[in-house]
Amino acid sequence: MTTATTSNNYKGVLYAMITSLLWGFLPIFLKVSLKDLDPISIVWFRFTFAFLVLFIYYLNTDKQQLRIIKRPPLILLIAAVALGINYLGFMQGINYTSPSNAQITMQTAPILLALVGIFFFKEKVNRKQLLGFAIAGLGLFLFYQNQLQAFINDKEAFNKGFFWIELGAIMWVLYASLQKKLVQKHPAQLLNMVLYGIPAIFYAPFVNYGSFLQLDFSSWLIVTFLGLNTLIAYGCLALAFKYTEAYKVSIIVAVNPIITLVSIAVLSVMNVQWIATDSLSIYSMIGASLVIGGAITAVFFSRKNKKKALPSTVNSENN
């Protein structure tokens, strides 16, 4: 391995770590923003913010690329709808449960995508991947059962949250599968511009615009961070895939729930008042570890089958 190759590999790992870090903090800030805004308004702002930045970028650098807005491919429209539901599903999951619950449950998304690759794209599966699926499945069952006990007084809310997150995971798989085809013909960021713009238009009639007028300075900082999180995380992810192998990036990004869990644990010890922290039982921690470990195992041992994996297969899993 040459010095240049090694340097590029380090760059790729660094960019992937930035993405994972931003996605690890994201659900915490989403939960805090729910004090001032409803889920749809938050999702709309994130999409609108990201779309406007990319639109202005292409308007000033390559106007010809904007022609895709007039006649977007049908599968791009379907992918955009799926992504819009994915964002709302994750947001509602956090609304009904907690950041840590949402992060762990959303790890079913890469597992489902791997299964889509096996059954629809005819990718080969090995025993170690199957072991990863089994470990993740066992962990999710254990985590869900124990966390449900923690929500014993509000089972309905927890189950609604679980439903929304799983709906978001399924929609992400649909989005990722379609995006995997689209990115072969169009620049990833150009596709993202359309993918952000369509849900922004769709959610616009349901936004409580008056609530934005009531935000104070700190609340505006939070929602601005949510918009920047999308742009920076995805930008770093694209660079990560440019400089290093896809499977390495996928593994690094897959550990972002650990950042969320550790952050929540620290906030719980600090006894902060600005966010309700949930304490995980030993069984929930074991379940969470199995889910994350199983997902990483499935991704790691599929690397030989996915040497040409594309950044779009993971770039919106965690919203």
**pLDDT tens-digit map of 200-234:** 999 999 999 999 999 999 999 999 999 999 888 87
56-106 residue pLDDT tens? 999 999 999 999 998 899 999 999 999 999 999 999 999 998 888 888 788
Q: What is the pLDDT of residues 275-289, one digit of tens each?
A: 766 666 787 788 878
| Secondary structure letter of residue 63 according to DSSP | G
Sign of CA dihedral 197, 200, 204, 208: negative
**All structural domains of the chain with their residue ranges:** 8-313
What is the DSSP secondary-structure string of 99-115? HHHHHHHTTHHHHHHHH
Give percent helix, percent strand, percent coil of the chain, each to the nearest 5. Answer: 80, 0, 20
Nearest Cα neighbor of 173 from 86, 294, 47, 250 is 86
Q: Which of 60, 35, 134, 147 is nearest to 97 (CA)?
A: 147
CA-based angle 256:292:259, to the nearest 5?
25
Cα 89 to the center of its chain, rounded Å: 11
Higher pLDDT, 55 or 174: 55
Rounded-to-integer distance, Cα 102 and Cα 119, Å: 27
